[in-house]
Amino acid sequence: MEKVLVILGSQDQKEDLLKEIKKQKVDIDASFYEVKDWNKELSPWIFNEFGEGARFTLENIQSLYNLEEYYLIGYSLAGLFCLWVATKTKVKGIGCCSGSLWFENFVEYVSQSEIDTSKIYLSLGKKEKKTRNVLMSTIEEKYNEVYSILLEKGIETTFVLENGNHFYEVYPRLVRSMKWLITK
């Protein structure tokens, strides 16, 4: 059975995701890592209100899990964190759903970094770019850039443009990423 580690923000999210995994009949060994301070614990460097706790979070996760045996999956800032983790250590695969790829200098960072995973699932809501926030409105452009970079690096990658906005079908999208990762 394939091992999946999902980065979450609460126990409620875990319960909702487990329901969706059961509904979609995905046969996985699911583990969860809960984050208390999303902006601080998942950010790779300081940017606006975001901290730089990703290194500490990664160390904690590595003390609990051998990431070479796990698909690492996250949504929003947790999606960005998962992709960043693959620049720091070997991971079986990455699911980055609605990841915060608008994060300052992240595309450049991915371009200049070695990515230590064999496959990556990217997904984004079609409406996510429709926001008044100038930085966040670049999300689809950033996704396309990262997708191209990952393909150039020879990593098996898919980019799925989903219906809806950032908050539409969060759990079904996470499970679709799991299904793609474990069947590819």
Indicate the pTM of the whole model: 0.95
Please give the angle made by the CA atoms of 90, 172 and 17, to the nearest 5 degrees.
75
What pLDDT, on a 0 to 100 scale, did the predictor assign at position 94? 98
Q: What is the pLDDT of residues 19-50, one digit of tens each?
A: 999 999 999 999 999 999 999 999 998 888 88
pLDDT of residue 168: 79
pLDDT value of residue 133? 86
Distance CA 167, CA 112 (A): 30
Average pLDDT rounded to a whole number, residues 73-98: 96
pLDDT of 184 higher than 80: no
CATH assignment of the domain containing 173: 3.40.50.1820
**How many folded domains does the chain comprise?**
1
Quote the pLDDT of residue 10. 79
Q: What is the pLDDT of residues 106-138, one digit of tens each?
A: 999 999 999 999 999 999 999 998 999 888 889
Residue 62 pLDDT: 97
Q: What is the pLDDT of residue 43?
A: 93
Residue 164 confidence (pLDDT): 83
Say if residue 73's pLDDT is above 80: yes
For every residue of the chain, which 3-state class applies, written as one string? CEEEEEEECCHHHHHHHHHHHHHCCCCEEEEEEECCCHHHHCCCCCECCECCCHHHHHHHHHHHCCHHHEEEEEECHHHHHHHHHCCCCCCCEEEEECCCCCCCCHHHHHHHCCCCCCEEEEEEECCCCCCCCCCHHHHHHHHHHHHHHHHHCCCEEEEEEECCCCCCCHHHHHHHHHHHHHHC
Alpha carbons 6 and 81: distance in angstroms, whole number? 11
Q: Is 49 exposed, middle or buried (0-12, 13-18, 19+ CB in 10 A)?
A: exposed
- Domain extent at residue 53: 2-183
Per-residue model confidence as pLDDT tens digits over 133-177: 888 889 999 999 999 999 999 999 999 999 987 787 899 999 999
Query: In the prediction, which pLDDT does 140 show?
Result: 94
